[in-house]
Each structure stands twice: as C-alpha cells, then as structure tokens.
C-alpha cells in the first residue's frame, strides 16, 4: 500500500475540531513536525487537545533584554505553541509546560493563568509509558511515580511489594503528528539521532499516524534491521520538499 500523499494539507485533511493530537519532538527543533503543525494552524481546527513533551512558545517574541538561547532554531521552525498562540487548543498534556528560557512567557502560561486553557501535567517517563501503553493496547498501568504528590491527587493508589503506585491510563490520540528521517512507501520509518524521542513512542498510539519525513525511498531500500517504526503503525507519509529545512 502506498501511504504517501502530495501535500501537508492533504496529510492533515482528516483532523477535526476537538481532536486529540499527539505531536512528536522533544525540545527546540529536535524532531518536531513543523510543517504538519503549520498545516493544522492553516486548517484552523479548534478545541484541540495536544499531547507534547515540550509545547514551546509558538511565535511569541522574546523580550529585547533577555539573553538569547544557545540552541539555534531555523527560521521556518514552528512548535505546538503556535496552535496554542492561535487559540486552537483547549487542553495541553505535557511533561514540560515552560520554555527553554527561564522567565520567557509562553502562550500556554498566559492562557493557563487566564483560565482559558486546561493543563495536565505528567512526569516525562509516565507520559511516555501512557503513550506506549496505548500502542500496545494496554488500557492502564500502575507506576510508583506520583503517590503523595499533587500529580497523584485523586488517582487510585495500590501497594505492590510495599511500594505505593498510582494508576495511570493510556493516552489514545486521534492523530499522531510525527517526524522521521526516512520512509518507504509502506510507512516503515528510520529516525536520525535523538530525534526519535517521542516520535517513535507516539507512532501507532493514535487512530491515525501521520509522518513528516526528509527522504522517501522505495520498498526494500531500508535494511529491515534499521527500521525503527514498522509501517503497520503509520497511516500517512508526507515528504519535505527540502530535506534540509528545519532540524
């Protein structure tokens, strides 16, 4: 089956108001599907829930007196904060709601304080396991992270071998927007370096997984031993026109 589509707009055409989006990446420009995010921004869907490790600050300008970050991002880089900034998001599930620069205000922070955005915090490992559990068909699991803290408030707690553990539920998305380095027409994916991060975890954790990739190769050109995400977990592939754009 050929899973490749011609444009980002076509790739996100099925995304609807109120959808839960799992968006890959880790920090600034590291494996972020910027073009898919821009396509969702352009589509204008509303009341989204987004699950990201680091939503980011969108296109919000840094104060002129603030030191610039050492990590440089390309001019065409966008993160999930763009959707928040455009008021398309009603809820964010994340492990890091801040920005890479302490004291730098973000759309998430501002809307959270205004009471217009719901925030669900997760320890990073717990969020990763909630996503992995979704792909594996596991509805819930217990973790020792959280009991006795605000993150564990209101959750079922049981003891295993004398260790209190919180019950956490899987996060099943409607759409996963992920970034990979290489794909074949059947959706088998290869990542580059640390950009695998949450991309590999979110692939298959939604009803539909959309992969933005740098290069497209023919079926059989990827060594099976190098496939990080099998095509069975990928539904749509869209290829960057310029592989060098972004990071």
- Please, what sign has the CA dihedral across residues 2, 7, 12, 14? negative
Please give the pLDDT value at position 24.
96
Please give the pLDDT value at position 84.
95
Question: Domain residues of the chain, as ranges?
Answer: 4-60+71-139+172-239
Per mean pLDDT, which range of 50-59, 112-121, 136-145, 168-177 is the poorest?
A: 50-59
Per mean pLDDT, which range of 59-63, 66-70, 150-154, 189-193 is the poorest?
A: 66-70
Q: In whole numbers, what is the pLDDT of the chain averaged over residues?
A: 91
Please give the pLDDT value at position 55.
87
∠ CA(136), CA(141), CA(142), 5° rounding?
Answer: 150
Per mean pLDDT, which range of 10-24, 105-119, 166-180 is the poorest?
A: 105-119
30 vs 155, which has greater pLDDT?
Answer: 155
**Domain at 4-60+71-139+172-239: CATH code:** 3.40.1080.10
Instruction: Give the whole-angstrom CA distance, residue 21 versus residue 19.
Output: 6
Give the three-state DSSP class for 219: coil
């Amino acid at each position: 089956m050929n899973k490749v589509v011609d444009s980002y707009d076509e790739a996100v055409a099925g995304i609807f108001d109120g959808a839960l989006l799992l968006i890959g990446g880790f920090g600034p420009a590291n494996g972020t599907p910027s073009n898919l995010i821009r396509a969702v921004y352009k589509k204008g869907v509303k009341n989204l829930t987004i699950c990201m490790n680091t939503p980011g600050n969108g296109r919000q300008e840094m104060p002129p007196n603030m030191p610039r970050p050492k990590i440089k991002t390309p001019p065409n880089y966008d993160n999930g904060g763009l959707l928040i900034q455009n008021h398309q998001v009603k809820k964010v599930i994340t492990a890091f709601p801040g920005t890479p620069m302490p004291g730098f205000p973000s759309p998430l922070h501002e809307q959270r304080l205004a009471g217009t955005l719901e925030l669900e915090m997760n320890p990073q490992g717990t969020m990763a396991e909630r996503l992995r559990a979704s792909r594996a068909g596991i509805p819930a699991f217990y973790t020792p992270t959280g009991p006795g803290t605000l993150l564990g408030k209101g959750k079922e707690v049981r003891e295993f071998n004398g260790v209190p553990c919180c019950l956490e539920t899987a996060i099943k998305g409607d759409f996963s927007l992920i970034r990979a380095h290489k794909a074949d027409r059947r959706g088998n994916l290869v990542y580059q370096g640390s950009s695998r991060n949450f991309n590999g975890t979110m692939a298959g954790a939604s009803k539909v997984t959309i992969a933005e990739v740098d290069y497209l190769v023919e079926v059989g050109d990827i060594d099976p031993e190098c496939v990080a995400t099998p095509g069975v977990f990928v539904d749509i592939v869209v290829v960057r026109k310029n592989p060098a754009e972004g990071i």
